[in-house]
Amino acid sequence: MIKKIIFDFYYLLLFVFFVFFTSCKTTNNTFAYRNVDSVEIDVKKDIYTFDQKEEMPILAWIGVQEHTVERYRELKEVGINHNFSSFINIEELSNAMRAARRAKIKMIIHIYDLDNELEKMAKRFKNHSALAGYFIGDEPNRNSFSHLAELTRRVQEIDKKHFCYINLYPNYAYLEQLGTTTYREYVQLFLKEVPVEILSFDYYPIRVNDSGERFLNKIWYENLEIISDEARKAVKPFWAFALTTAHGPYPIPTLADLRLQIFSNLAYGAQGIQYFTYWTPPFETEELGYNNGPIDNNKHEKTTTWYTVQQMNKEIKNLSNVFLGAHVIKVEHITINSSGKNGDIPKGTTRFDFSNKPAEAFIIKKFDIPNNTNAVVSFLKNGNKCYMVVINRNLYGGENVTFTIEGDADLQLVKKDGTIVPAASESSSQTITPGDALIYGWDIK
């Protein structure tokens, strides 16, 4: 929801510079949560298909704001391959597309007078090599689904090759904002009524309290459970967010913060990663106070966050063979306190039970868990391989966790740089720092 406020403020800022465009609406950014229940709604498969094969999409939200080749190459250098920036008109967008093409950046395109200029924009850029897709909307209410479906179909009548992008609310939105009785119903109705090729939602789970201590939103993993489940049933990939611009109760991200967000997203099957934001928004009100995004808005220079994001993106690229194209078999959670007793796992999730591991994980024979452990365990299938991903769910500044894992001779350990070695050649006890992931793989026979 805060992202929507930024997007709308950005509209307003451009209105000052270009008076012939309308100003934007704002949204209440007070958070609330209501219990969600599953409802059964059939999802029709679309006649348009979106095939994602080349590389893991990594998207900059509020991306490059100086549309030169150098700035887009800087985006490429940080490890981001997709950009979303809004434009006043088609000619301004055209100039940016030329720069993006030279830097080998893919663009999700949007101009402000979308209703009137949509067909013109799609016809102009449908064959452009820098085009990834079309931005249609952000955080819609249920009542706007029919209009978004109309816009999406208008694009698809012209361009069946590139996707339409609409980003959904998180599960802490008010029911009045969702326009449904539950969050799951909101997602299901969206997938039923709007023929998008991918499912996207935003969530920024890491905050700080008044003492400056980080804490994790209790319903984040429930949101991932719902999105992952509904995307699987609809046979669509989903994309998820990580926060890179500090504001309000959200801290400047550490590498551990980004790892926890991104590896959790990937463990639940995400097929695209999005950063909010790349360019620090030019709003420094007491309410928002955006600061320390990868590119500083005042000096237009790299910040320390830029280098943190670059390191994170190297890890995503190194591990793309694990996550890109993967399908979730099972995701479960571990919470064990200092006395060795089970603690509360995140709302809406399932407790890990090694004795009930999936049949595909037959190769793993031992899985010892120490006290003081908070972890995510995901089993994934990708082509002719399976993987087990174990994430230390502790936040930056929390405890390292050491697992002892043993398996048959064919069990492999996937290292951070993407290399694969026999697990037996390494110690069976592996330590994971906060937010990081431990990955084992094996061939399907």
**pLDDT tens profile 297-318:** 999 999 999 999 999 999 999 9
> Is it the case that residue 119 has pLDDT exceeding 90?
yes
Lowest average pLDDT, out of 40-54, 115-129, 139-153, 266-280, goes to 40-54
Query: What band does 53 get if pLDDT is binned at 50, 70 and 90?
Result: low
Mean pLDDT of 230-254: 97
Average pLDDT along the chain: 90
Query: What band does 282 get if pLDDT is binned at 50, 70 and 90?
Result: confident
Query: What three-state secondary structure class fits 401?
Result: strand
Question: How much of the chain exceeds pLDDT 70, in percent?
Answer: 87
Mean pLDDT of 340-353: 97
Which pLDDT value is given to residue 445? Answer: 80
Task: Tell me the pLDDT tens digit for each residue of 16-38.
Answer: 333 333 333 333 332 233 333 33
Query: What band does 47 get if pLDDT is binned at 50, 70 and 90?
Result: very low
The angle subtended at Cα 101 by Cα 99 and Cα 105, nearest 5°, is 100
Domain with CATH 3.20.20.80 in the chain: 48-323
- Greater pLDDT, 53 or 196: 196
Query: What band does 8 get if pLDDT is binned at 50, 70 and 90?
Result: low
> Is it the case that residue 291 has pLDDT exceeding 70?
yes
Mean pLDDT of 101-118: 97
Given a contact cutoff of 8 angstroms between Cβ atoms, the answer to whether 165 and 198 are in contact is yes
Query: What three-state secondary structure class fits 202?
Result: coil
- Element containing residue 200 per DSSP (H, E): strand 199-201
- Which architecture, in CATH terms, is 327-443? Sandwich (2.60)
Given a contact cutoff of 8 angstroms between Cβ atoms, the answer to whether 188 and 43 are in contact is yes
Task: Tell me the pLDDT tens digit for each residue of 362-399.
Answer: 999 999 999 999 999 999 999 999 999 999 999 999 99
Mean pLDDT of 235-253: 97
- Tell me the C-alpha distance between 289 and 417, whole Å: 36
Mean pLDDT of 424-439: 98
- Element containing residue 261 per DSSP (H, E): helix 255-267
> Is it the case that residue 232 has pLDDT exceeding 50?
yes
Which pLDDT value is given to residue 41? Answer: 42
- Tell me the C-alpha distance between 148 and 271, whole Å: 23
- Tell me the C-alpha distance between 97 and 103, whole Å: 10
- Element containing residue 191 per DSSP (H, E): helix 183-193
CA end-to-end distance (rounded Å), the chain: 46
Mean pLDDT of 100-120: 97
List, as one string, the DSSP characters of 130-149: TEEEEEEEES--GGGHHHHH
SS3 per-residue string spanning 294-341: CECCCCCCECHHHHHHHHHHHHHHHCHHHHCCCEEEEEEEEEECCCCC
Which pTM was predicted?
0.90
Phi, psi angles (nearest 5°) of residue 419? -70, 150
Given a contact cutoff of 8 angstroms between Cβ atoms, the answer to whether 440 and 405 are in contact is yes
- Tell me the C-alpha distance between 51 and 161, whole Å: 9
Long-range contacts of 10-18 (CB under 8 A, 24+ apart): 10/62, 10/86, 10/281, 11/86, 11/112, 13/282, 13/283, 14/86, 14/88, 14/112, 18/88
Given a contact cutoff of 8 angstroms between Cβ atoms, the answer to whether 245 and 290 are in contact is yes
- Tell me the C-alpha distance between 398 and 206, whole Å: 13
Question: What b-and-e string marks burial along 87-109, b requiring 16 or more CB atoms within 10 Å of the CB?
Answer: bbebeebeebbebbbebebbbbb
Mean pLDDT of 48-64: 78
Lowest average pLDDT, out of 48-62, 144-158, 415-429, goes to 48-62
- Tell me the C-alpha distance between 252 and 274, whole Å: 17
> Is it the case that residue 156 has pLDDT exceeding 60?
yes
- Which architecture, in CATH terms, is 48-323? Alpha-Beta Barrel (3.20)
Domain with CATH 2.60.40.1180 in the chain: 327-443
Which region holds residue 435: left if phi is over 0, alpha if psi is between -120 and 50, else beta?
left
Query: What band does 49 get if pLDDT is binned at 50, 70 and 90?
Result: very low
